[in-house]
A = this chain, B = another copy of it.
Amino acid sequence: MNDNPDIMEEERRPLRADAERNRRRLLDAATEVFCERGLDVGVGEIAERAGVGRATLFRNFPSKEHLIAAIVVERMRESVNRGRAALASDDPGEALFDAIEQVVGTKQTDLALFDALDEEWLTNDEIHAAHAELLSTMDELVRRAQEVGAVRTDVGAVDVLVMVKGVCEAARSFQHVEPELTARQLDLVRAALSTPSYQRPLRGKRATIEQFERASPVAEPASKTA
A112 at the interface (CB under 8 A from B): no
Interface residues of chain A: helix, strand, loop or mixed (majority): helix
CA distance A158 to B205 in the complex (A): 11
Q: Taking the complex as formed, is A16 at the interface, i.e. its CB lies under 8 A from any CB of chain B?
A: no
A38 within 8 A of B: no
Q: Which of B119, B154, B185 contacts A166 (CB 8 A)?
A: B185
A159 to B166, CA, bound (A): 13
A213-B155 in contact (CB<8A): no
Docked-complex contact A135 and B192, CB < 8 angstroms: no
As a 0/1 sequence over residues 150 to 173 of chain A, the CB contacts with chain B under 8 angstroms (1 = contact) are: 001011111101110111011001
Hey, which chain B residues are within 8 Å of A170, CB to CB?
162-163, 165-166, 169
Q: Can you show 23 pairs from A to B with CB atoms below 8 A apart?
A: A123-B223, A124-B221, A125-B221, A128-B218, A128-B220, A135-B209, A139-B209, A155-B184, A155-B206, A156-B206, A157-B209, A158-B174, A158-B178, A158-B212, A159-B181, A159-B206, A162-B212, A163-B170, A165-B173, A169-B169, A169-B170, A188-B192, A192-B192
How far does the alpha carbon of A103 sit from the alpha carbon of B59 in the complex, in Å?
53
CA distance A170 to B185 in the complex (A): 14
